[in-house]
Amino acid sequence: MSNRKTVYVAISSDILHRGHLNVLEQAARLGEVTVGLLTDSAIATYKRAPLLDWETREATIANMRQVSRVVPQDTLSYAQNIRDFRPDFVVHGDDWRTGIQSVVRAEVLNLLSEYGGELVEIPHTVGVSGTDLEAAFRPTASTTDSRRAQLRRLLKMKPWLRAIEASNGLSALIVENVKVDDPENGAVREYDAMWVSSLCDSTFKGKPDTELVDFTSRLRTIHDIMEVSTKPIILDGDTGGRAEHFPHMIRTLERVGVSAVIIEDKTGLKQNSLFGTDAVQTLDDPREFAIKLNTGKRAQVSDDFMIIARLESLIAGLGVDDAIMRAKIYIEQGGADGIMIHSRHKDGEEIREFMRRFREYTTEIPVIVVPTTYNHIPESELAEMGASIVIHANHLLRSAYPAMLDTATRILENGRSLEVDDELMSIKDVLKLIPE
Ligand code: SPV
Ligand code: MG
């Protein structure tokens, strides 16, 4: 056995830059370097999923002369690997002393103190930021194929995903970029996916949500979103239209890089589900709907596109039994890749019951929930019930409209716009908002 000292360095980044090279160089001077390369799931749970998969990243790092071996690090926490390898040194840049990574650092110090290991911190390399480099690379790394595959990839990496409505280029930019720190977990929280809602797409166009906005127009919205963002898109496909047309819709969506379409089991003039039984909600014959789903599945060219069946039983007041019966038919006969269960009840009890019974039937099939009315239930609790994707379906539209209405009203009242200035973004900020 070598009596050289052992050194542990954790790396999560896709893109290796001068800062990493510096840390590895210094680490190699201390002894034999083991790199704990964060797995795709570990990265995805605390920031955006990596651009390159573990195998590709591993191949690069394993070939570096400073590195003796690469091992997976399954969590953001170093605990498991430090306990397993008991390195003499852990080496890291000193930039993690402050900010959200300080939680991870504190744990490392604790673990090392258990056996006399040492933390060596290398002064942070100024002028290079992994986050900035990654942000610059991401748009060019996002191809039609990789974007389409991204939803399935994320579903494998993370226990559950969070999506929100994006209805135009500007709201897509918000969904693409908004982040908040999650200091308790040393993580950064962001949206995983975008929901292109029929309600919001129609409403922004001043049209009712009755499938009046045709597919060509919906595609225009999708293009606007795609041009400025990279996150996977889940399209609200309404009823999927005529069964004969549905395969053509699937081919088009696959070709442009949409990740999933959700179609609802309604027929006749579609009415928004949040009307519930205040509107006529006619459900399709479940076998007919399964045939429609199946025609779509057979038309599909790629393996990664998802066709998700949306159950409207609870919206139509038919109860959980009907929803479960239909879910089974859509999966077993229609080949649905996932289920969306919709409800407008405020207490969320039907959703709880559906999830319990559905998860007894299968744990494999992803389930999507849309907590618009039962939004007192936190996302994490819905995930505990077995939800795979939580969609906040219309919240950007609903926040934009009152703000716009208020501004328009106050300018009318005052005969000038000075009074609203304080609530508005400055023109300077508007000009800076979109990079040229
Ligand atoms: C949409 O966002 O268009 C939906 C969800 O279909 S809901 O409006 O809640 O029916
Ligand atoms: Mg809709």
Coil vs helix vs strand at 92: strand
Report pTM. Answer: 0.94
Residue 236 in contact with ligand 1 by CB distance below 6 A: yes
* Closest ligand by atom to 272 CA: 1
Q: Which atom of ligand 1 is nearest to the CA of 202?
A: 3
Closest atom, ligand 1, to C-alpha of 394: 2
How sure is the predictor about 417, in pLDDT bands with cuts at 50, 70 and 90? very high
Predicted confidence at residue 2, as pLDDT, reads 63
Give residue 138's pLDDT band: very low, low, confident or very high (50, 70, 90): confident
Q: Which of 40, 192, 209, 284 is catalytic?
A: 209
Ligand 1 atom with least separation from CA of 393: 2
Query: Over the chain, what is the mean pLDDT?
Result: 95
pLDDT digit string (tens) for 220-277? 999 999 999 999 999 999 999 999 999 999 999 999 999 999 999 999 888 888 888 8
| Segments in 307-436 forming alpha helices (H) | 319-332, 349-361, 379-385, 395-414, 427-433
| For ligand 1, atom 2: residue with the closest CA | 197
Going along the chain from its start, the domains and CATH numbers come out as 6-131 (3.40.50.620), 142-393 (3.20.20.60), 399-433 (no CATH)
- Pocket test of ligand 1: the residue of 196, 236, 396 to mutate, having most ligand atoms within 8 Å of its CB, is 236
102 vs 370: CA distance, rounded Å: 35
Closest ligand relative to 166 C-alpha: 1
Cα–ligand 1 centroid distance for 12 (angstroms): 37
Q: Is 26 in the pocket of ligand 1 (CB under 6 A)?
A: no
- Residue 1 reports pLDDT greater than 60: no
238 assigned to active site:
no
Q: How far apart are CA 370 and CA 153, in angstroms?
A: 21
**Would you say 330 and 324 are in contact if contact means Cβ atoms under 8 Å apart?**
no
**pLDDT, tens digit (0-9, with 9 covering 90-100), for 378-393:** 999 999 999 999 999 9
